[in-house]
Amino acid sequence: MSKGAIERPVGGEGRDERKRAQARDGSFQGAVMAWITTLRRRVAEEIGRLGIEVQPLVVTVAASAFLILPRYLSRGFEREARRLLSPEGVRMMHDLGINVTFVCQFILPCIVLLCMRKRLRESGLGLGDVRFGLKACLLCVVLYIPAFLLLFHDPQTQRYYAHGAKMHDWGTFFLWHVPSVVLLMLQTEFFFRGFLLLGIRRVTGDFYAILLQNIPYVLLH
């Protein structure tokens, strides 16, 4: 018998070991996935037995967490931003209002909705009724201008809106301050009037959904 016939092929033992390791990993992953599937089914059955709707429950718990988290994560977020970004990048982030609150009250709610397989436009991130929106916007502008003219020279108002007053030119104002206000309004309106209000309205009705979302909104301000 030739030598090649009785010798084990080079690398054969290593391949066998890798196959056994893959089989063990596959069986472990399969067991974990089976456990997760069983847990999800049992939780869904229990929630159904209690008559609890999943979306309002998830939205309420998530919204509570997203309102509290910025208080505890802001320092760490700033520290990591300074570590990962250049000083100019940190300044740009601050000028645009992209902070831990924006992450917790805009990005994370979007992720929650996507995990629940909900369309973001159904939670306020869509054009909606454009004609009505334009009319309402025009009405608000007409009502806002007199109030703005009355309060513009008030020292307390100027201090409150000091960020915009510090802009050195109109280009900087429109490139940085206006987008930061747009992002802030988008974040606030989406979180309270989209994610929270539309997330609970199915079980509370429109009127009580408006009242309930208004409580944390007022407390936050």
Domain limits of the chain? 1-52, 53-220
Which residues make Cβ contacts (< 8 Å) with residue 58, sequence separation at least 6?
112, 116, 199
Measure the CA–CA gap between 113 and 196, rounded to whole angstroms.
Answer: 11
N- to C-terminal Cα separation, the chain: 89
User: Residue 94 belongs to what H/E stretch?
Assistant: helix 87-96
pLDDT > 90? residue 166:
no
pLDDT > 80? residue 13:
no
Report residue 166 as tokens.
């510090």
Residue among 71, 109, 113, 102 nearest 182 (CA): 102
Measure the CA–CA gap between 69 and 177, rounded to whole angstroms.
Answer: 26
| pLDDT confidence of residue 62 | 94
What pTM, to 2 d.p., does this model score? 0.68
Measure the CA–CA gap between 47 and 36, rounded to whole angstroms.
Answer: 16
Higher confidence at residue 169 or residue 200? Answer: 200
Q: What is the pLDDT of residues 14-71, one digit of tens each?
A: 666 666 655 555 677 778 888 888 888 887 787 777 777 888 889 999 999 999 999 8
pLDDT > 50? residue 96:
yes
Task: Find out whether 66 and 220 touch, Cβ atoms under 8 Å.
Answer: no
Look at the block and give the residue holding tokens 């309205």: 201
- 196 pLDDT tier (thresholds 50, 70, 90): very high
Any idea which of 49-53, 90-94, 124-128, 186-190 has the lowest mean pLDDT?
A: 49-53
Higher confidence at residue 171 or residue 185? Answer: 185
Measure the CA–CA gap between 48 and 82, rounded to whole angstroms.
Answer: 46
Measure the CA–CA gap between 208 and 221, rounded to whole angstroms.
Answer: 20
